[in-house]
Amino acid sequence: MPPKFFKYKYGKLPLPVFFPDATRAVLRSLDTTDIENTKTQGILVNTFHLWQGLEKTILKKFGGVREFMDYEGAAISDSGGFQVMSVIKSGQIKGRITDQGAIFYPSKNKKLILTPEKSVEFQMKLNTDMVVVLDDFTDPKVNYKEAKISVERTIDWAKRSKSEFEKICKKRKLNKNCPYILGVVQGGKYQDLREYCTRELVKIGFDGLGYGGWPLNEKGDFDYESAKTIAENSPQNYFLYGLGVGKPQDVVGLCKLGFNIFDCVLPSRDARHGRLYVYNAESINKIDVNKPNFYKFANPKRVAALSDNSKVSTACDCLLCTRYSMAYLAHLFKIRDFTAGRLATIHNLRFYSILMERLRSTIDKV
């Protein structure tokens, strides 16, 4: 009954899937060939970052981000809902939220209004396989009353998104070729709000629901309670998407609750920051993701790494691990060559694609 595949433009993918973030139509430090070689199944691109520059020019010529990137994997577009938090609520860019939508002031003379309708419309232009509705991020610090406001707004925006989505699908006569549409559940730590939000979104009707908001509690531990609430109140045939999730153990944890789509910046960002994910196993087929400490970190920025002539991991078949030594990577980091970020990112992405391979074959479902 739960979905078995994620259908995309060029085929279908077995679940669960992990999509690293190519926010601006590039997975930082990699080109499309590199992405393919990591056996990554798909990518996530972002509406907020792309819609200003690409809408009128490139997308018209190419017909979609994937065509623009010459990428034939799966692709999900995010709505820009997370930027409502990461950019406005954190004060990095001036902006405000109204019932109409999110208003951004990136510079003095520039004003951007991102409405649920615009977000859907642009995502349809991006021509991705899954469209995510614009949501109003519930700030984790917020009280019940404020959380409720963001939930109501999220539901309202979801309705508007859905009807815009249907309108465009109809207009373009997409029929069965409509992309998936994902609702996003807000409500912070308030379980009754999470449940309410989930149920209301299900009434509207989506192909799946995303675990929205910030998935960590005050202590920094993963909030599985909210994830359970969402999973328990969703129809069986729904995709369950851990938005921005996460650390390998968090992906495993959510997977056990039935979540089957993930995306996260961690593998790529951590790679550039000199943190490599390494399985505690001699070879790929000995990896056991059910063990508590199934992986560790390796740090090519430490001085000791410069004299480490061994491979980063024997449980990995990426370009870095099959060809180069830790010492060489450490050297590339030391001289700040971009190749360091590239090799490290390739490695971490392969770590995640292996993680998904292992999850598909070995997970103990709860």
Active site residues: 78, 263
Pattern 284-323, RNA, x by CB under 7 A: ---------------x-xxxx-------------------
CA angle 240, 238, 71 (to 5 degrees): 65
Does position 210 interact with RNA (CB under 7 A)? The reply is: yes
Closest CA to 278 of 357, 364, 344: 344
Nearest residue (CB) to RNA, 109 versus 175: 109
Beta bridge partners, 295, equal: 279
Shortest gap between Cβ of 183 and RNA (angstroms)?
9
> Which residue in this structure is represented by tokens 């995709």?
239
Binding test (CB under 7 A) with RNA, winner from 40, 41, 79, 313:
79
Closest CA to 27 of 227, 271, 191, 277: 271
Pattern 28-47, RNA, x by CB under 7 A: xx--------------x-x-
Q: Which of residues 85-104 bind RNA (CB under 7 A)?
A: 85-87, 92-93, 104
**Alpha-carbon span 364 to 117, nearest angstrom:** 40
Shortest gap between Cβ of 334 and RNA (angstroms)?
6
Pattern 243-272, RNA, x by CB under 7 A: xxxxx--x------------xxxx-xxx-x
Pattern 320-349, RNA, x by CB under 7 A: --------------x-x-x--x--------
Q: If you compute the radius of gyration of the chain from its CA atoms, what whole number of angstroms results?
A: 20
Does position 280 interact with RNA (CB under 7 A)? The reply is: no
Nearest residue (CB) to RNA, 101 versus 246: 246
* Residues near RNA, by CB under 7 A: 20-23, 27-29, 44, 46, 48-49, 78-79, 81-83, 85-87, 92-93, 104, 106-107, 132, 135, 137, 184, 186, 210, 212-213, 215-216, 220, 222, 243-247, 250, 263-266, 268-270, 272-275, 299, 301-304, 334, 336, 338, 341
